[in-house]
């Protein structure tokens, strides 16, 4: 089923391009992990899911399109495979699941643009929120390759005022020159 879905997606992508529509890249939502790790073994990923990812990434790469993967959960054990497949952007870097944005920057910052990694649990407390942003964003931005995003959906108990303050912090700590 995964391969059929990937082949269908590239067919529709070709149809759009053939009709004169253009786009910068593909963004695929494919949650591969949860809070305790992968939803399946790396061997199962290789057998069942990797072929579809390769179809998508190969198609996009041949057309000069950005390859963007969204996966919640802890997918640290798949990182070498994701590099081999050809993904370029990874989102959302879920902290409570065990993702390590700073480690990802260190180990994969030359091949991945990272998007996310700002713990939504800190958004209820202005001090915690500032510590979170200040401790991560400058390092994640070094040399480029970082896009601000929360590590998961913003909880409904985060006030609009707190969220506005967060955006101001991101602007303060996260402006590229």
Average pLDDT, integer, range 89-99: 97
Q: How far apart are CA 19 and CA 170, in angstroms?
A: 39
The Cα–Cα gap between 52 and 8 comes to 11
CB 44 within 8 A of CB 2: no
Question: How far apart, in Å, are the Cα atoms of 3 and each of 49, 51, 53?
Answer: 8, 7, 8
The tens digit of pLDDT for each residue in 125-173 reads 999 999 999 999 999 999 999 999 999 999 999 999 999 999 999 999 9
Q: What is the mean pLDDT of the chain?
A: 96
Tokens of 15: 């149809």
Q: Break the chain into its structural domains and give their ranges.
A: 1-71, 92-177
Q: How confident is the model at residue 87, as a pLDDT?
A: 98
Average pLDDT over residues 83-101: 97
Residue 86: pLDDT band by 50, 70, 90 thresholds? Answer: very high
- Asked if residue 114 lies in contact with residue 147, where contact means CB atoms within 8 angstroms, the answer is yes
How does pLDDT run across 19-35, given as a tens digit for each residue? 999 999 999 999 999 99
């Amino acid at each position: 089923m995964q391969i059929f879905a990937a082949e269908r997606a590239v067919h529709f992508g070709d149809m759009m391009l053939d009709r004169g529509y253009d786009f910068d890249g593909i963004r695929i939502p494919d949650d591969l992990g949860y809070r305790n790790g992968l939803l399946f073994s790396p061997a199962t990923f290789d057998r069942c899911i990797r072929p579809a990812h390769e179809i998508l990434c190969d198609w996009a790469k041949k057309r000069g399109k950005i390859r963007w993967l969204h996966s919640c959960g802890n997918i640290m054990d798949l990182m070498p495979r994701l590099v081999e497949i050809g993904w370029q952007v990874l989102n959302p870097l879920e902290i409570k699941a065990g993702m390590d944005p700073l480690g990802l920057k260190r180990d994969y910052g030359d091949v991945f643009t990272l998007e996310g990694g700002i713990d939504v649990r800190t958004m209820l407390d202005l001090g915690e929120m500032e510590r979170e942003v200040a401790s991560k964003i400058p390092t994640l931005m070094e040399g480029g390759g970082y896009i601000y995003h929360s590590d998961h959906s913003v909880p409904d108990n985060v006030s609009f005022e707190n969220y506005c303050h967060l955006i101001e912090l991101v602007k303060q700590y996260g402006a590229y020159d």
